[in-house]
Amino acid sequence: MAGYVTNLEEATQKNVNFRTVLYTAEHSQLVVMSLKPGEEIGMEVHLNIDQFIRVESGTGKVIMNGEENAISDGFAFVIPAGTNHNVINTGDTQMKLYTVYTPPNHKDGTVHITKADAEAAELLEHAA
């Protein structure tokens, strides 16, 4: 089949991993994430990647170039390439979200069960 079809809300809500790549195309990538209470993605910047994020459940905040905005169920935001950013779960339940990277940011099929797994993988990628 060309392309990818899924019930994205269901896939996002069922995801228990920090990061799971659902689909990678030549110019974009669909990823679901789950942040534990108090957990954050971590301040980062993608120099050549735009990112769209939608929150399916949970509460938190997004920081982009120092500007903070509260986010919760149904909120979406776009992070342009070169923007220093972080997403933080400030609630007491898991925050479920999905993101679209353009172009792709992770190896197809990537699953990081925990944030520590994600950080270790990124260190290995940048050491190579």
Domains of the chain: 8-127 (2.60.120.10)
Q: Could you tell me the pLDDT band of residue 119, with boundaries at 50, 70 and 90?
A: confident
List of residues 6+ apart from 79 with CB closer than 8 A: 46, 50, 51, 52, 53, 64, 85
Averaged pLDDT for residues 18-36:
97
> Is 128's pLDDT higher than 60?
no
> Is 106's pLDDT higher than 90?
no
Q: Give the closest residue to 119 by CA, choosing from 43, 58, 12, 61.
A: 43
Check if the beta carbon of residue 77 is closer than 8 Å to that of residue 97: no
Q: Could you tell me the pLDDT band of residue 30, with boundaries at 50, 70 and 90?
A: very high
pLDDT of residue 122: 79
